[in-house]
Structure 1
Amino acid sequence: MTSSPRRPWLFDPAMGGVLVRAHRSPAGGAAGDVVSDVLWSEVLGLLRWAEATLGCAPTLAEGAAWRTAATAAAVLRRLPGLCAEAGTAWPGAQGDPEEVALPGRQRLAAAADRLTGLLCTCPTAMDPLALVGRVAADVDAVGAAAIALLAEGADWTAAS
């Protein structure tokens, strides 16, 4: 498997583990560490699918985009339960309506870039509820962009 030209480190298992564990709270305890590891592992998996979608051969783009959208939906379905486990309220996913005007590929790259920024930083000073809200919004944006990418490539003349 070749790595992503945008982020070659994304498919390195050792680096992924370091990034996931870096989000653990010093005062989180064992349960908090597990919840954090699950959340960031799922974010890492979603980012890998987003990068695969952006960098794959055109013949594979549709399948990769479907997988990206499905993975984003799975993460969003899981977030309320993870929030409950962590003792944090579920803020919901609040998307940015201004992004809808961009083409799907641009939207996907921008949303993946924002989510990567959250993965690569350790915002320990950030309120956990605000952090989960940002993660949820970016996960939702990645999924929506993947669907937009699919819609742009669809042959709408064949539908009847």
Structure 2
Amino acid sequence: MAHRIVSLAGLEEVVRTRAGRQGVAVDVVDSVRNAPRMLSVLMALEVDYEWVVYENNIHRLRAVATLCRVLEALDIFVFPRLRLEPTNARGISNLRYRANRIRKMAVKAGGSLRAPAITLGNHLRNFTTQLRSEARTAEWVEARLPRLRQHVQNVAALPADFTAPPDPDM
């Protein structure tokens, strides 16, 4: 019987309390921020301890983990670089690339995460269009970044529920 994983804490509990080879299936990621760690733990258990990780939602977990890394990159270096150089073409292109990546991972993850993540990707794409439309000042960018940053944080805190079937256009 497979253990149904619905949180990082639940996965850690199974790791601490179950001996021998186990089967696990991911049903829910409790927050986007936890997806990379959940994926890392599951892959290590599969390789090192011959656990069976059911493939039903693992590709969706991979998409959420990738989404998390994109959101972290925005927060760690994309937004700070834009604040310093709001007209830098490479910085604007980097932001647009990340926006498109968010949209792609949202479609792959599907479920409850799809709509809010696509909305974030759209907001970021619109922001890049505004940046390209005319030279924007650092003050203009500075005034808008807190709202974008908050939107990124909100999506990073969302759960991803895989109990519903994936979207048909995935």
TM-score, normalization by structure 1 = 0.40
Name the larger-Rg structure: 2
**Whose strand fraction is larger, Structure 1's or Structure 2's?**
2
TM-score, normalization by structure 2 = 0.39
